[in-house]
Amino acid sequence: MFHLSIVERIKKKGTDALELYSIIIFLIVSILFFSLISSDFFSLRVFQSMAFQLPELGLLTLAMLIPIISGGLNLSITFSANICGLSTAFLIKSYLPDFGVLTVFLAFTVGIVVGIFVGALIGLIIAYVGAHPILVTLGAMIFLRGLGETITHGGDISGMPEVFNTIGNSLMLGIPIPLYIFLAASVVTFYIMQYTKIGFSIYMVGSNPDAASYSGINTKHILVFVYSLSGALAGLAGVLMLSRFNSVRIGHGYSYLLITILACFLAGANPFGGFGRIIPLVIGLISLQVIASGMNLMGASQYLVTAMWGGFLIIVMMLRSPFLKKN
């Protein structure tokens, strides 16, 4: 079996703790800054607004993190989400106009299954053809975009049943339902990555695929699983976006793509694979959402917020580059 040495384990735990403490401090500083700038920042309205916006970005970021840990990248997550949303919308409007809870259950099932199918195809090409993940997922992104535009003729599909829209726009105990879904997905992903053999194998493949293969890990199967899981999370995000906005078109959420990469690296993921944790990622996402909401309260445009996020990515990678070179 492939095991880390004791020194490597201690160093790894220390690095994980440092990443976690850093992102927590970043979150606290962000909250304090915007609470001083705006007296409305600590209002229930602002909290609920952030809680409604976070889940779809959070699910897409989880879908990006797993491939990054494995040493790859998935540039097709947003268009995978849109194709899953389009498939779900077509099913509902054609065959399940209003069957109550059954409509909701089947809608989410279809979205996740389509996402798994798309992700598995990408994983099979990467694992068995040997093509680079960036090129494969870039090709998948272009293909899915063209396919979606062909199906919809550049338009959208809208008019979902009320029971389905309730999932994306309702509160439970004062907290948006989509946030519960995101937190549940985060817990499941955390468990897979931290407490299962396949999660351990994903980290090993990202750290050193040759050593992982020599230790008995089927790296091809692991890569197919990685992109299938990524597709499932993207599919769940696509269905949530459909439920929240009551419509779907190819291109919804495209601006999230680079933000998901930023969030992964902000949370300590290594661009070369092998490192990345779920808990720092969730905290990092909350930090980015706090910055976006705080800037909105200050009257800043979304374009300025996007520019700031890009600046954060450059700064984070500059600060972490000495560590990456040592590893």
Is the pLDDT assigned to residue 172 strictly greater than 90? no
Query: Mean pLDDT across the stretch 20-37?
Result: 79
Between 29 and 100, whose confidence is greater?
29
Is residue 194 assigned to a domain?
yes
Is residue 322 assigned to a domain?
no
Exposure of 172 by Cβ count < 10 A (0-12 exposed, 13-18 middle, 19+ buried)?
A: exposed
Is residue 167 assigned to a domain?
yes
Closest CA to 39 of 294, 290, 289: 294
Is the pLDDT assigned to residue 114 strictly greater than 80? yes
Specify the pLDDT at position 220. 94
- For the chain, state the CA radius of gyration: 20
Alpha-carbon separation of residue 301 from 259, 305, 323 (angstroms): 16, 7, 34
Q: Hey, is 248 helix, strand or coil?
A: strand
Q: What is the pLDDT of residues 123-169, one digit of tens each?
A: 999 999 989 999 999 999 999 999 988 888 878 888 887 777 888 88
Is the pLDDT assigned to residue 121 strictly greater than 50? yes
Between 250 and 61, whose confidence is greater?
61
Q: What percent of the chain has pLDDT over 90?
A: 35
Is the pLDDT assigned to residue 281 strictly greater than 60? yes
| Residue 47 bridge partners (DSSP) | none
Closest CA to 73 of 2, 12, 140: 140
Number of domains into which the chain is organized:
1
Q: For residue 218, give its domain range.
A: 50-252
Show Cβ contacts of residue 186 under 8 Å, excluding neighbours closer than 6 positions: 58, 62, 278, 282
Q: What is the pLDDT of residues 59-103, one digit of tens each?
A: 999 999 999 999 999 999 999 999 999 988 888 877 766 666 777
Specify the pLDDT at position 84. 92
Specify the pLDDT at position 4. 44
Is residue 19 assigned to a domain?
no
pTM to 2 decimal places: 0.86
Q: What is the pLDDT of residues 183-231, one digit of tens each?
A: 999 999 999 999 999 999 999 999 888 888 888 899 999 999 999 999 9
Specify the pLDDT at position 198. 94
Specify the pLDDT at position 16. 59
Is residue 297 assigned to a domain?
no
Is the pLDDT assigned to residue 233 strictly greater than 60? yes
Is residue 172 assigned to a domain?
yes
Is residue 7 assigned to a domain?
no
Is residue 284 assigned to a domain?
no
